């Protein structure tokens, strides 16, 4: 027996059939003829449709999961430093001192940096451009609360554009100073998808930990080198 295309089919027992272009047995549904009712093209179309439906379902679920991810993120790390509060705050608010402790400086020793405005004051700008690991970007001091907090607008320009709120808070901790480095940002759809596969807290937090470790060494060395003037360790700096 042949189909319309002239392809030979022959019935077999036990509810199976055979198509010469589809060389394996196909079980027939109950009540159907024992002559194979499908061609190879028919079978491939059915498989393609099922695969397509499956992929569409997976994509739909993935899109729903991404859409339900948090629209904001926050990363922060802390360190306690054996140095006066005013010394710690002065160093952290002045971009010119960051070269001695910022974690990304070691990623590109030849990174180009530019300082604009009055450093240590609102409006001060720090721009950088380097290799693929550090990219390019800009930081701008947006607010300062003397000896308490500095807020920084962080803008990444390369390899991709992104913005975040960055900054530091400092507080007396007995004879030491506690410093907190934080970053707040918003996740668009791409950011949500990225966070689905990457742990932002772990990724950024590692840099913060390294940076604060470097900063601790720099600040404590500066504290030891500071001439003794009889003031207490956490005497307030002139405002």
Residue ranges per domain, the chain?
A: 9-66, 73-225
pTM > 0.85: yes or no: no
- The whole-angstrom separation of Cα 155 and Cα 166 is 10
What pLDDT sits at residue 16? 46
What pLDDT sits at residue 10? 46
152, with CB counted inside 10 A (0-12, 13-18, 19+), is: buried
What pLDDT sits at residue 119? 93
Average of per-residue pLDDT across 37-52: 73
- The whole-angstrom separation of Cα 41 and Cα 66 is 37
Give the model confidence (pLDDT) of 127-137 as tens digits: 999 898 889 99
Which sign, positive or negative, has the C-alpha torsion 117, 118, 121, 126?
positive
Confidence of residue 11 (pLDDT cuts 50, 70, 90): very low
Q: Each residue of 64-97: b (16+ CB within 10 Å) or e? A: eebeeeeeebebbbebebebbbbbbbbbbbbbeb
Give the model confidence (pLDDT) of 24-35 as tens digits: 444 444 444 444
Mean pLDDT of the chain: 78
What pLDDT sits at residue 182? 95
Confidence of residue 169 (pLDDT cuts 50, 70, 90): very high
pLDDT at 107 > cutoff 80? yes
Token couple for 14: 């036990």
Percentage, residues of the chain above pLDDT 70: 69
- The whole-angstrom separation of Cα 180 and Cα 184 is 13
Average of per-residue pLDDT across 51-79: 78
In the CATH scheme, what is the homologous superfamily, with its name and number, of domain 73-225? START domain (3.30.530.20)
């Amino acid at each position: 027996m042949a189909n319309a295309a002239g392809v030979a089919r022959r019935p077999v027992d036990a509810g199976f059939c055979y198509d010469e272009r589809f060389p394996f047995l196909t079980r027939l549904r109950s009540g159907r003829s024992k002559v194979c009712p499908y061609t190879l093209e028919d079978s491939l179309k059915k498989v393609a449709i099922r695969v397509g439906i499956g992929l569409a379902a997976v994509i739909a679920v993935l899109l729903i999961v991404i859409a339900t991810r948090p629209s904001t993120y926050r990363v922060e790390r802390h360190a306690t430093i054996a140095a006066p509060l005013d010394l710690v705050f002065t160093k952290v608010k002045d971009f010119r001192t960051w070269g001695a402790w910022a974690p990304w400086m070691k990623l590109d020793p030849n990174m180009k940096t530019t300082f604009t405005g009055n450093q240590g004051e609102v409006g001060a700008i720090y721009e950088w451009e380097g290799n693929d690991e550090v990219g390019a970007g800009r930081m701008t001091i947006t607010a300062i609360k003397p000896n308490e907090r500095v807020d920084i607008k962080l803008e990444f320009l390369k390899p991709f554009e992104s913005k975040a709120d960055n900054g530091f808070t400092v507080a007396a901790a007995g004879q030491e100073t506690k410093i907190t480095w934080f970053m707040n940002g918003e996740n668009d759809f791409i950011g949500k998808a990225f966070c689905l596969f990457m742990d932002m807290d772990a990724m950024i937090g590692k840099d913060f930990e390294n940076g604060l470790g470097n900063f601790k060494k720099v600040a404590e060395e500066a504290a030891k080198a500071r001439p003794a003037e009889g003031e207490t360790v956490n005497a307030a700096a002139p405002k």
